[in-house]
Amino acid sequence: MIANVVLAGISLAAFYFVLSAGLSLVFGIMGVLNFASAGYFLVGLYAAWYMLGHGSGFLVAALAAGLISGVTALIVEFVMLRPLYRNPGGQLLTTLGVMLILTEAVNWVFGPQIQQEPMQGLLASTLPVGGLPFPVYRLLLIASGLVIYLLLVALLRGTSLGLKVRAGVESQTLAELSGIRVLPLRSLVYALGGILAGFAGALYGPFGGVYPGAGTDTLLLTFIVVVIGGLGSVGGTLVASLIIGLAEALVGFYAPNLALTVNVLAMIIVLILRPQGLLGRAPGRRDTHAA
């Protein structure tokens, strides 16, 4: 039985990781907590739901959802955020506005009701784990999280583009002094954040439901994950996702009313002991060369 709960926790963790990784990277390079991520999540959630209802397979729908959200994010970056370059406060408010607008738009187009996500075949079936049925779908979550983690690490550690992104995350000024154009890198990372949020939205539908409040409902937990992990750190986001996912599953099993409390507590404890997050950089070292 405990194996079942732990596996459920890991699958939650995988979901949180996909949702939070983009947020963490975007913060790393832009210095802005991207509220709009909740909006891209919602776009992905509904895009996948719509495609599933029209005969598409789940993976195709999820990938398409990521793409649609990524394009949405790219447009937002280009039209609304880029003019506010060097104005983090304005960018923060803009991302908040984008989140509200996308939430309202979804509400207006599809209505406030919870939609039924049509799942069939293998993904709707279960396997026995520790004497209890375990949804096959949750295994897909785990696999998705793992694949995305490996892809992100390969991109950031194994390519020259990833090296430039990491340079830009550490210091925009030093990156430019090395001849790197940071502006297009920011757009790229922002779009990547949109893709990951949209993909996470698609993953959320089958277990969380399809409704306009889904984006804002998951926002708090992603912030907790990103803060615990350390802003800008993919490895930290993974560790924090595991902590939060497992805590939620275990506490949710033994004391359902305490699940969120425990997560907020975990964040407060980490913030007191390690304000920069588990794997984050020490604060105050950010961009000492900025103009």
| Binding residues for other proteins (CB under 8 A) | 160, 163-164, 166-167, 169-171, 173-182, 281, 285, 288-289, 291
CB-nearer residue toward other proteins: 142 or 180: 180
We find the least distance from the C-beta atom of residue 25 to other proteins, in angstroms, to be 14
CA dihedral for 26, 30, 32, 37, sign (positive or negative): negative
We find the least distance from the C-beta atom of residue 114 to other proteins, in angstroms, to be 44
CB-nearer residue toward other proteins: 173 or 187: 173
CA dihedral for 42, 45, 48, 51, sign (positive or negative): negative
Cα separation, 113 vs 108, whole angstroms: 11
CB-nearer residue toward other proteins: 6 or 180: 180
CA dihedral for 113, 222, 5, 7, sign (positive or negative): positive
Cα separation, 197 vs 210, whole angstroms: 15
Contact 185, 163 (CB under 8 A): no
We find the least distance from the C-beta atom of residue 21 to other proteins, in angstroms, to be 18
Q: What is the 3-state secondary structure (H, E, C) of 56-105?
A: CCHHHHHHHHHHHHHHHHHHHHHHHHHHHCCCHHHHHHHHHHHHHHHHHH
We find the least distance from the C-beta atom of residue 259 to other proteins, in angstroms, to be 34
CB-nearer residue toward other proteins: 151 or 290: 290
CB-nearer residue toward other proteins: 148 or 185: 185
The DSSP 8-state label assigned to residue 134 in this structure reads E
The DSSP 8-state label assigned to residue 289 in this structure reads T
Each residue of 249-259: b (16+ CB within 10 Å) or e? bbbbbeeeeeb
We find the least distance from the C-beta atom of residue 275 to other proteins, in angstroms, to be 18
CB-nearer residue toward other proteins: 170 or 217: 170
CB-nearer residue toward other proteins: 171 or 263: 171
Nearest CA among 105, 73, 110, 31 for reference residue 199: 73
Quick one: the chain helix, strand, coil %, rounded to 5? 75, 5, 20
The residue written with tokens 């830009």 in the block is 168
We find the least distance from the C-beta atom of residue 178 to other proteins, in angstroms, to be 5
We find the least distance from the C-beta atom of residue 159 to other proteins, in angstroms, to be 11
Nearest CA among 176, 147, 23, 210 for reference residue 85: 176
Residue 249 CA neighbour count, 13 Å, CB half: 22
CB-nearer residue toward other proteins: 160 or 257: 160
We find the least distance from the C-beta atom of residue 34 to other proteins, in angstroms, to be 21
